Chain A
Amino acid sequence: MNEIERARQREALADRLRAVINGPHVLSSPQELKPYECDGLAAYRVVPLLVVLPGSTEEVKATLRICHAEGIAVVARGAGTGLSGGALPHEDGILLSLARLNRIVSIEPDNCCARVQPGVRNLAISEAAKPHGLYYAPDPSSQIACSIGGNVAENAGGVHCLKYGLTVNNLLGVEMITIEGERVTLGGGGLDGPGYDLLALITGSEGMLGIVVEVMVKLLPIPQRAQVALAAFDEVETAGRAVADIIAAGILPAGLEMMDNPSLRAAEDFVHAGYPTDAAAILLCEVDGGNEEVSEDIAKVRQRLLDSGASEVRTADDDTERARFWAGRKAAFPAVGRISPDYYCMDGTIPRKHLPHVLSEIARYSEESGLRVANVFHAGDGNLHPLILYDANNPGELELAEEVGGRILELCVEVGGTITGEHGVGLEKINQMCAQFPPEELQMFHDVKAVFDPKGLLNPGKAIPTLNRCAEFGAMHVKAGDLRFPHLERF
């Protein structure tokens, strides 16, 4: 399409949408569109044809009906904090921002639930529930900014999901608009809905199956108390074993996080959390619940950590110290951002027992590529975030970082894990999907999408690779630990 035709198409569609969207909420000028060109993964940028910000469910319906009739692609966006390019716009499609649907519809303390619109920030739900002694458990590290609609689309996790589950475990229902513009309720007022569990299917579907316009979340009682232990280890392997020992002792920590030396050093330099910078790794283990429960569990945790070979164990004396212990972990990504012009964040999950092997392989890739890697690990649930440090100003370094990242993800698949634990596939990890799933299963994903979106208009090109794309990527295909093409060198 040439520029003149494109401009004409843009204005014609904008006119139609302005007829159904109240106020100045259909954006079409280059300077208005520019801020929407990327999400939290800024390496990929595309300017959309138009940005539409509906202010009501009716406006979402009307927008989708027009797009469906005209065959226009629709990419939904929440707060734009996603890390996998899931909300990267489509150049011939509209970007549907749900940011204006930001109302907390109701907090129902007696039913322990809240009804919220998709643009409500994750943390805002807990803030609104706090006067009732309740909170919303999933806490992705972006929770101050990320929206619940995006959390549903990505099945977001956080540091507390070993004990409290992911987004999918903390939803009661959603109201969704299909691409045809029809409203449907998935889940319900009770703990389950009739028929197939479409709520589970929608959760984590990356905006490919429908547009969520209302979310009903479960609220939990705020724990009376939380207590955290910080343990230092001389070797990463010992720290890994300590995690298994805590689980074997029958403790289910609220949070169990590991940082390796490069990441804990970066964090310490940044926020002065008091981390032992000579340690090979540290573990943060938090237990929460009632007063008595926490006292008993933290004593157990402390003893376990010492028995497992920790060189030092500190327990936070009060909430200030607890916050300080966590500050380093929570600031790990920006801390790494300070020591490197750019970094690339990976999100593989592995069976925990393979941690030493995976970390030593990552160290090898780092050495071979010359790029430093810092590791942050949700140790309790096996979700590993290697941060690959690079400088985009050095020609070829972004590509090298992506290559190292790709190798790390394939390694995760090889040891029985997955390429993404909580960030989603988006556009970023679409090639690695070919390593995780054989063609029959990928085809099944496409077929399921076609049930919801026969014209393929919702977030096209994301999350599920075409079989052709995988054929091109085939030289890297790994299945069940065996290399498909073992004679080929892999870099």
Chain B
Amino acid sequence: MADRDIAQELAEQVLDAAGRRQPLRLEGLNSKDFYGHAVQGEPLQLGGHSGITSYEPTELVMTARAGTPIAEIEAALAANGQMLAFEPPSFAGEASIGGAVASGLGGPRRPWGGAPRDLLLGMTLLDGQGRILRFGGQVMKNVAGYDLSRLMAGALGTLGALLEVSIKVLPAPVVERSLVLNLSRDRALQLMRELARQPAPLSGACHLDDQLHLRLSGNAASVAAWEKQIGGDTGDGDDFWHQLRNHGLVFFESERPLWRLSLPPVTARLDCEQQTLTDWAGSQRWIYSSCGAMEIRDEVAKIGGHAILFRHGDGKTPVFHPLDSVRERLHRGLKQTFDPQGILNPGRQYASI
């Protein structure tokens, strides 16, 4: 992929659109264009702004332009025995690092390795007035000023277009092993809870179709010791985790509405669950349900969680969990601050922003 800096062109396009109050639809490499509500607007193509701008393995920091493909980043890291700990999904296509951060989505390693927001150190942002701003930095610890870069992780481009991101990278584990145990969901949840309270080198814990899939990552001695203690067989190995990360498993092939529930890990079976894939040691559940959106959201909210209509919505049901009045006001205020004309991905996340 070309090493290309088109920040100035992008800034001019935003400035021009702001003058015309013309909505812009932010695009990276389009692997996640299904996510959120459709945006009517001129495309702002960030995919062309690409290339790794700095990477020093011993500093554990990589800086790359937003359009840089994840695959390119992961290849550069792998060559130095390092990784993106949040395992961003690419789904069916090629994904960009900017899209990975803007969507805020983490892969199977998320409970142990963190989400994009946890590893994000800083960024260059193009705001709704076409201004290029820098927040955070390229160092591990930085508490100067409000953490506006982490605010952008998961904001789906509604507060600004990410131009460049600096990310903390981590050493890749020396050894990785997959285990499969035949367990009902309740038994699997119980085992996950027990393991979560022990210093087991877990990097994946997913239950599907009466099988618990575990992944261990660490040095050779540690992985071998825990493999022996937990038991089970090796299953599909790496392939399962790759398919899980990118929603390539048969479970995800249905055309029915797919819900993502974010929950406290011990949550027992919910009334609305029909078919479930339980990931993140219980904290993230993908479900198909015949319940209505309100029912699902009410049930999940009661226990402190939230529900996203991830795929195959009807276009009218809100994709993201509704906000209470205080949060709604804060969201609108932040939108007004970063994008006063309301031209950046309007409505993609919530109608009011």
Contacts and interface: CB of A to CB of B under 8 A. Distances in A.
Interface string A440-464: 1110110111111000000000011
B270 interface: no
A49 interface: no
Contact of B222 (A292, A423, A440): A292
A191 B118 CA distance: 11
Interface string B267-280: 00000000000001
A440 B141 contact: no
Interface stretch (A22-30, A181-189, A389-397): A181-189
Contacts of A54: none
Contact of A191 (B141, B148, B200, B284): B284
Contact of B337 (A417, A441, A444): A444
Nearest to B194: A110
Contacts of A448: 146, 148, 334, 337
Contacts of A272: none
Contacts of A207: none
Given A222-B199, A292-B222, A293-B201, A420 B134 contact: no
B47 interface: no
A190 B263 contact: yes
Interface in A288-321: 289-293, 295-297
B284 A196 contact: no
B139 A421 contact: yes
A252 B150 contact: no
A221 B198 contact: yes
Interface in B121-142: 127, 131, 133-135, 137-142
A177 B174 CA distance: 46
A204 B262 contact: no
A247 interface: yes
B281 to A, nearest CB: 9
Given A201-B151, A290-B225, A416-B139, A193 B306 contact: yes
Contacts of B151: 196-198, 200-201
B235 interface: no
B39 to A, nearest CB: 17
B144 A436 contact: yes
Interface stretch (B9-17, B27-35, B57-65, B248-256): B57-65
Contact of B143 (A113, A204, A449): A204
Contact of B138 (A194, A416, A444): A416
A380 B197 CA distance: 27
Contacts of B118: 165, 168-169
Contact of A169 (B61, B114, B142, B349): B114
Contacts of A182: 326
Contacts of B171: 247, 250-252
B264 interface: yes
Contacts of A437: 144-145
B143 A422 contact: yes
A178 B111 contact: no
Interface residues of A, number: 99
A363 B170 CA distance: 32
Interface in A386-431: 416-425, 429
Contacts of A134: 197
A418 B334 CA distance: 25
Contact of B264 (A157, A190, A245): A190
Nearest to B266: A110
A444 B148 contact: yes
B193 interface: yes
Nearest to B114: A169
A248 B263 CA distance: 37
B58 to A, nearest CB: 4
A349 B264 contact: no
B221 A292 contact: yes
A203 B306 CA distance: 21
Contacts of B262: 188, 190-193
B82 to A, nearest CB: 8
Given A416-B138, A420-B142, A201 B56 contact: no
Contacts of B323: 194-195
A221 B196 CA distance: 7
B264 A351 contact: no
Given A222-B199, A422-B143, A444-B133, A351 B324 contact: no
Nearest to B170: A252
Please indicate which of the listed interface residues B153, B154, B320, B350 has the most CB atoms of chain A within 10 Å of its own CB. B154
Contacts of A268: none
Contacts of B145: 425, 433, 436-437, 441-442, 445, 463-464
B115 interface: yes
Interface in A131-189: 132-134, 154-155, 157, 161-162, 165-166, 168-169, 173, 178, 182-186, 188-189
Contacts of B193: 110
A68 interface: no
Contacts of B219: 292-293, 296-297
Contacts of A168: 118, 147, 150
Please indicate which of the listed interface residues A133, A183, A190, A203 has the most CB atoms of chain B within 10 Å of its own CB. A190
Interface in A243-296: 244-245, 247-248, 250-252, 289-293, 295-296
B197 A189 contact: no
A-B pairs, top 4 by smallest CB distance, nearest first, are A189-B304, A451-B333, A190-B262, A293-B222
Given A134-B197, A190-B306, A351-B139, 5 more contacts: A194-B321, A290-B226, A349-B141, A442-B145, A451-B333
28 contacts: A112-B197, A133-B197, A189-B303, A190-B261, A190-B263, A190-B306, A192-B306, A195-B350, A201-B148, A252-B170, A289-B201, A290-B222, A290-B225, A293-B218, A349-B142, A351-B138, A352-B58, A378-B141, A383-B141, A417-B137, A420-B142, A420-B144, A422-B143, A425-B144, A436-B144, A440-B131, A450-B337, A463-B145
Interface of B: 56-61, 81, 104, 110-111, 114-115, 117-118, 127, 131, 133-135, 137-148, 150-151, 153-155, 159, 170-172, 174, 193, 196-201, 218-222, 224-226, 261-266, 280, 283-284, 303-306, 308, 320-324, 326-327, 330-331, 333-334, 336-338, 349-350
